[in-house]
Amino acid sequence: MTIIHIAHATNIDLIDHISVLWKSLTLNNPDHQFALHLLHSIVDSSAVDKFKVDFEAVYPRVGLSTHYVDVSGMVYSNNFKHGTMATILRCVIPTVLSDIKKILYLDIDVLITGDLEPIWRLDCGETGLCLKSSIHPDWRMRDGYRCGNTGVMLMDLERLRSNGFVEKVLESNSQKSEEAQTLINRYAEGRYSDLAGNMNIFMCQDDAVYEDPIVYNIVGPKKPWNSSESDIQCDLWRSYRDIVISKKLQVTRGIGIGVLCYTTTNLGDWTQSAAALYVWWVYFDRPGTFREFIETCIATSKMGAYPITWINRDRISLATKPEGVDRVVILCNGWWMHTYKRLYNFIPPDWIRPIYISLHIAAPVLLTSSVCDYLRGYEPIGCRDSATVKLLMDRGVKAYFSGCLTMTLNLRDPKIGFTPHSRYKDKTVYLDYKCPPATRAVKLTQRIKTTDNSNLILTMQRCLDLLVAKQVYTVRLHVWLPLICNKAHIKLMNSSAGREFEKGDRDNHAKKTDRFTGLFETISTKSTLTCFKALLLNRTLYQIEKSM
């Protein structure tokens, strides 16, 4: 297996933030092997020793080496706008890591949201550097050549050593106090190889230009660790930080895991539970394939060492406490709810520890004063749509728009374990939407006849089948949503108007509480969709960790 070598440069002020970057890196690169080379100027060895102990406890599979660099001979100004004394350590990486051939250098204020292998495979060319240029045409060196951002750099260390990179950069540094980025660009003279735009996206600057982000760079002086502001970049960074802080290593006795099941005829309900299982699979570090994980859950009613309690959504208040379990942690996402014997069987019993994320209230009558009092105990409530946010807020329950857990399903994950059926490849599919006459398209429905847990396999298999279709037309939210988030060729249709769904249209099925509000707009904003999905997943993982 190829080892991807990562380098950071740090000082005492930044070292505690490295684990946040690595949480984003490992969650989005679970199948790669990494080595971390940490260059630092920290004289107090106890601080570095503490970092090593903490880091290796959370990331035991990452090979970690630390390298102290004496910076007393380097020229540096505290007036630099972009960088610290730590960032100038980038300039000596080829010398310090003399036995390493290639390095991916990452500033500590980046987040990884995609697979790093495409970056690692790039050719660094004659200068030994791969950088991303700014999209702004006026971003140039004074000498007229283009300038690259050095917060994300692929470095061919062998080529840099043969080119005398370190000697040239330090010579420039001795003549004039300049930032490391300027020194490195002065060496490259604009001849560096190019990182694609999505390999170093400047958050809140050019993120609207590129799709499929791999690295998000939190550029500028405002950083999440020294700002109380709430925006997409700060919120995403904090969500990874919260997971790092809360991660437990031991199984907690007396806890079970709940999974919602249904007696309805809509396969979309099971898509909600499949999404919840996907989050649990990620939480347990993705053992085996996702299909194997589901099959094991169904066959054994266990997730690892934790027993599973299958809880009927529409009878949740009638659920029986399992033996030997003190509390059951359950993701209460999805559509709430149908009546049973003409009653809404809600509130859950007190042994159930619900996590309210991606919640949709289908019937406002459900929100009685006692239910609202109960929900206040779990504020803020994560809502699947803006309509549910308004319903709760109007009744004095704090809520926020979380989006839908089905958005987190990565159907293109190499470990998904499901293989698309060949009969759907290059076919047009009409799913619960009128098919034109005299067409050879495939017709499908989400209506099902069985209500057993095998529907978890059925709904995932359908998602994978439709992923390879030439085109899908549907009115079903939980066909469209996970597929559009995985770049399938699918259109959400307005059945009343006989055309594609547009902003401002009403829900096809839920006229009283429009299920699409917020979701449609979020999907349409492609520049922040990856961030939004990562934020939803991280918030859910954090809520699980707090509840276990």
The residue-averaged pLDDT of 506-516 equals 66
User: Residue 216, Cβ neighbours under 10 Å: how many?
Assistant: 28
- Between 222 and 153, the more confident residue is 153
Higher pLDDT residue, 143 or 78?
143
pLDDT band at 504 (very low <50, low <70, confident <90, very high): confident
Instruction: Report how far residue 93's alpha carbon sits from residue 522's, in angstroms, rounded to the nearest whole number.
Output: 41
- Separation of alpha carbons 455 and 448, rounded Å: 9
Mean model confidence pLDDT for the chain: 89
pLDDT level of residue 1 (50, 70, 90 thresholds): low
**Model confidence at 82: pLDDT above 70:** no
Does the pLDDT of residue 511 top 70, yes or no?
no
The per-residue pLDDT for 139 is: 61
In this prediction, residue 230 carries a pLDDT of 77
Q: How many CA atoms lie within 13 A of 516 on its CB side?
A: 23
* Percent of the chain whose predicted confidence (pLDDT) is above 90: 66
The pair of structure tokens assigned to 168 is 């040239």
Instruction: Specify the amino acid at residue 395.
Output: R
Residues in the chain: 548
Averaged over 128-141, what is the pLDDT?
Answer: 77
Cα 23 from chain centre: 10
* Residue 144 reports pLDDT greater than 80: no
For the domain covering 3-244, report its CATH number.
3.90.550.10
- pTM: predicted TM-score of the whole model, two decimal places: 0.86
The segment(s) of the chain belonging to CATH 3.90.550.10 are: 3-244
Per-residue pLDDT at 228 exceeds 70: yes
Edge-to-edge strand order for the sheet containing 302-303?
302-303, 306-312, 255-261, 327-331, 352-355
For the chain, the first-to-last Cα distance in angstroms comes to 34
| pLDDT tens by residue, 259-285 | 999 999 999 999 999 999 999 999 998
- Those residues whose C-beta lies under 8 Å from the C-beta of residue 444, and which sit 6 or more positions away, are 429, 430, 431, 432, 462
CA atoms of 59 and 79, how far apart (whole Å): 36
More confident site: 247 or 42: 42
Q: Is the pLDDT of residue 468 over 90?
A: yes
> What is the phi-psi region of residue 201: left when phi exceeds 0, alpha when psi lies from -120 to 50, beta otherwise?
beta
Identify the pLDDT of residue 515: 78
Whether 439 shows a pLDDT value over 70: the answer reads yes
For the beta carbon of residue 434, count every other beta carbon within 10 angstroms. 12
pLDDT of residue 79: 39
Of the two residues 170 and 454, the one the predictor is more confident about is 454
Record the tokens describing residue 51, joined without a space. Answer: 């970092």
Of 124, 110, 109, residue with least CA distance to 199: 110
324-333 pLDDT tens trace: 999 999 999 9
* pLDDT tens-place string over residues 331-388: 999 999 988 888 889 999 999 999 999 999 988 999 999 999 999 999 999 999 999 9
Q: Which residue has the higher pLDDT, 208 or 366?
A: 366
Alpha helices in 404-454 (DSSP H): none
Instruction: Please compute the mean of the pLDDT values over residues 85-109 and round it to a whole number.
Output: 92
